[in-house]
Amino acid sequence: MNQTETHPSYIALDHWGDYLEENTDGRWTLEIYPNETLGAQAEALQLVSDGSVELAIVSGPQLENLNKDFIALNLPTTFDNIDHQMKVLAEDEVVGELFNSLRETNNIVVLGGFTQGNRSVYTTFGPVETPDDLNGMKLRVQESELNLAMAEALGASATPMAYGELYSGLQSGVVDAAENNEVSYATQRHYEVAPHWSQTNHLVGLDYLIINSTMLDSMTDEDREIFMEGWDEARALHVELWLEATDDSIAQAEEDGATIHIVDETIFDEALEPLVDQFLTTDTQLEVYEGARALSEKDVE
C-alpha cells in the first residue's frame, strides 16, 4: 500500500491481520508494506496480478486502466457522500459483476473498498475559488484518462504522477497543485510544501482491496469465511476511524501553518458535471452508474 502506518487504511488492515492470526491458529496473517515499499499502485496492481503479492489497496483510477467500466464509480458525481458510497459497495446487484470482471483477464478479484472521503484541491500558491485560479497551473492527478480530463475541467494543466512522488513534485515546482483528502494531505505532510487547502469537495474517492484470484481460490472454505469476516470488521473499523482522522488532519495541517479556504463547491461540481456524458459510453458503465445513483437519497436526480 502507499499510505503511512498512521493512516486509517493501514490501521484497519493491521487489525484484520491480527484477526486472521487469532482465528486461524496462525495459518493466515497479513504482512503489510506501507509507503510504496513494494512499489507505487500501478506496480502493486501488476504484482497482485502475477501473484508475487497477494493483496493490495489501489485507488479507483488504477482499475479504470484495466477495465473502463470502473469509470462508473470514479466520476465526481457518482457518490454523494461516504454513507452513500458504502451503501453502493454493499449492493452486490450493482457492483458484483464489476468486482469479478478482472478475474479472467488479470487474476484479480475486488473484495471491496475503503472510502477516500472527499477530495479537495491544494496548492503551493494560494486559494482556488474558481477554476480560473488554476489556469496555467500544473495539477497533479492520479494516472488515468478520467483524472486527466478532470484536471482540465478544473481549469488546470494535468500532470499524472504516483502518490509517493508528489511531496517532492510540489516541493521542486514540478507541479503547483494536487487534489486529495485531508487525511492524505496531513499524513503525507503535503501541507509543508502546499499550504493552501481549498475545500472544493469535488469527488468522493474510493480505494479497492484487490486480491490474487488463485490465492483466494486456494483457501479452504472455512478459512475464506474467516478471511471475509475479518475484512468486514476491517471495513467497519475504517469507517469509524475515517471521520476522526479527517478532523485531526485538518487540525494538524492548520496547526502546522496551512490555511483552509472555504469556497463555493457548486462552481466545481458544475465544472465537472460534463464528464458524466463524456465518459459513460458503454452499457455496463451506464448500468453501474445508474445503479449507484439510484441508491442516492438526493431528491432531484
Query: What are the residues binding ligand GCU (CB under 6 A)?
Result: 2, 41, 59, 116, 142, 163, 180, 184, 207
The strand pair at 157-160 and 138-141 is best described as parallel
Q: Indicate the SS3 state at residue 40.
A: coil
Taking the complex as a whole, the smallest distance from the CB of residue 85 to ligand GCU amounts, in Å, to 13
| Cell numbers describing residue 94 | 450493482
Shortest distance, position 204 Cβ to ligand GCU, whole Å:
12
> How would you classify residue 198: left for phi > 0, otherwise alpha for psi between -120 and 50, otherwise beta?
beta
In this structure, the number of other CB atoms found within 10 A of the CB of residue 90 comes to 12
Residue 133 vs 207, nearer CB to ligand GCU = 207
Shortest Å, Cβ 120 to ligand GCU: 12
| Closer residue to ligand GCU (CB): 61 or 127 | 61
Q: Closer CB to ligand GCU, residue 23 or residue 65? A: 65
User: Minimum distance between the CB of residue 180 and ligand GCU, rounded to whole angstroms?
Assistant: 5
Contacts of 53 (CB under 8 A, 6+ apart): 38, 44, 47, 212
Q: Rounded to an integer, what distance in angstroms lies between the CA atom of residue 291 and that of residue 16?
A: 30
CB of 254: closest distance to ligand GCU in angstroms?
20
Q: How far is the CB of 26 from ligand GCU (least distance, A)?
A: 30
Residues whose CB is less than 8 angstroms from the CB of residue 99 and which lie 6 or more positions away in sequence, other chains included: 109, 110, 111, 112
8 Å CB contact between 41 and 58: yes
Cβ proximity to ligand GCU: between 184 and 249 the closer is: 184
> Where do runs of H (alpha helix) occur along 25-165?
41-50, 60-64, 82-89, 92-99, 103-106, 145-153
Residue 64 Cβ vs ligand GCU, minimum distance, rounded to whole Å = 13
Nearer to ligand GCU, 147 or 213 (CB): 147
Nearer to ligand GCU, 120 or 184 (CB): 184
Nearer Cβ to ligand GCU (121/226): 121
- Rounded to 5°, angle at Cα 81 from 152 and 79: 55
